[in-house]
């Protein structure tokens, strides 16, 4: 049996944790899938999967092999795309991810423009406020805010943001403007648990970190919740500058404690393909980089 076919079957079964699930994904019969994995294990001389009546699990050897096989299959796809040439028409299924509010405000316009331009591409967008595992979740392109850890992902910097404390002019007129982070104790605060998972808010003054323990009256698991509370005049909140850029521009909100803002956070377009990346990924990355670098909210 073709080696790459066997690899594809193994990946499908491992990801589905089921021979039946892998068969449905590949539109093959379950016996054919079972036979392909069995032949692969026989050829390698090692058990890759453990079978029970309910689920299929990777062995230690299988987990290592899965990681290697995924990388090999991506490289094969890249080689195929490169052989077609740089002028190939983007087609296929593209998976894109970004933080929720950033995706809504800045990525969705790019997605709709891209799909309208390249109508042979189907786009799935995953907007979540957590770090997405590109390999495990099948992503092609993403937007990541913050320092990039060591990674095999390719990263192109497109801008930067900062953490800002904001409130409405009406609230600040009534409650006063805090002059130092310690003054936050006298204000009603709304916190986003995604941006500030603890009640220790870290600022920076003259290059030195300044940490204060805050007591939010309200904590919300989204970023738009605190934004709406601040807009309504309830109190102060701390968000990323891009999340409040329209409200700051209109004067609906204003920043406080600007001398204490921490270090800037870079914004990157990231993708997992190399220099021979597929036409759909290359084209989307090029468009995203161009559009985001033109955005005043992050530049």
Count CB atoms within 10 A of the CB of residue 130: 9
Q: Which long-range contacts (CB under 8 A, 24 or more apart) does 144-152 make?
A: 144/267, 144/268, 144/270, 145/99, 145/102, 145/240, 145/265, 145/266, 145/267, 146/265, 146/266, 147/265, 147/266, 148/266, 148/268, 148/270, 151/270, 152/272
The ranges of the chain annotated as CATH 1.10.10.10 are: 3-84
Strands 121-127 and 200-205: unpaired
Which fold does the domain 3-84 belong to in CATH?
Arc Repressor Mutant, subunit A (1.10.10)
191-224 pLDDT, tens per residue?
A: 998 777 788 999 998 888 899 999 999 999 888 8
The ranges of the chain annotated as CATH 3.40.190.10 are: 92-161+265-298
- State the CATH architecture for 92-161+265-298: 3-Layer(aba) Sandwich (3.40)
Q: Is the pLDDT of residue 236 over 60?
A: yes
The ranges of the chain annotated as CATH 3.40.190.290 are: 163-260
- What's the mean pLDDT in 70-79? 76
112-142 pLDDT, tens per residue?
A: 999 999 999 999 999 998 888 887 788 899 9
Element (H, E) at 283: helix 279-293
Tokens representing 205 are 């003054």
Instruction: Write phi, then psi, for 187 (nearest 5 degrees).
Output: -120, 155
Which fold does the domain 163-260 belong to in CATH?
D-Maltodextrin-Binding Protein; domain 2 (3.40.190)
Query: Residue 166 burial by CB count (10 A; 0-12/13-18/19+): exposed, middle or buried?
Result: buried
């Amino acid at each position: 049996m073709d080696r790459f076919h066997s690899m594809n079957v193994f990946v499908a079964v491992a990801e589905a944790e089921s021979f039946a699930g892998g068969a449905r994904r590949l539109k093959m019969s379950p016996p054919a899938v079972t036979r392909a994995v069995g032949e692969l294990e026989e050829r390698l001389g090692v058990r890759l999967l453990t079978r029970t009546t309910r689920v299929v699990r990777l062995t230690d050897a299988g987990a290592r092999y899965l990681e290697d096989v995924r990388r090999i299959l991506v490289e094969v796809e890249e080689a195929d795309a490169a052989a077609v040439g740089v002028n190939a028409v983007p087609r296929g299924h593209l998976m894109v991810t970004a933080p929720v509010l950033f995706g809504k405000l800045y990525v969705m316009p790019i997605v709709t423009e891209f799909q309208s331009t390249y109508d042979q591409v189907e786009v799935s967008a995953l907007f979540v406020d957590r770090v997405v595992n590109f390999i495990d979740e099948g992503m092609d392109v993403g937007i990541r805010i913050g320092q990039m850890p060591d990674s095999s992902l390719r990263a192109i910097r497109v801008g930067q943001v900062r953490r800002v404390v904001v409130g409405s002019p009406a609230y600040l007129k009534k409650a006063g403007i805090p002059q130092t982070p310690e003054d936050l104790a006298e204000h009603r605060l709304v916190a986003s648990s995604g941006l500030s998972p603890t009640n220790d808010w870290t600022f920076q003054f003259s290059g030195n970190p300044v940490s204060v323990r805050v007591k939010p009256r309200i904590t919300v698991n989204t970023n738009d919740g605190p934004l709406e509370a601040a807009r309504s005049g309830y109190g102060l909140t701390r968000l990323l500058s891009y999340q409040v850029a329209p409200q700051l521009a209109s004067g609906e909100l204003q920043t406080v404690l600007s001398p204490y803002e921490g270090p800037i956070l870079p914004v990157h377009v990231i993708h997992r393909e190399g220099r021979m990346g597929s036409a759909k990924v290359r084209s989307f990355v090029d468009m995203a980089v161009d559009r985001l670098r033109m955005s005043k909210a992050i530049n």
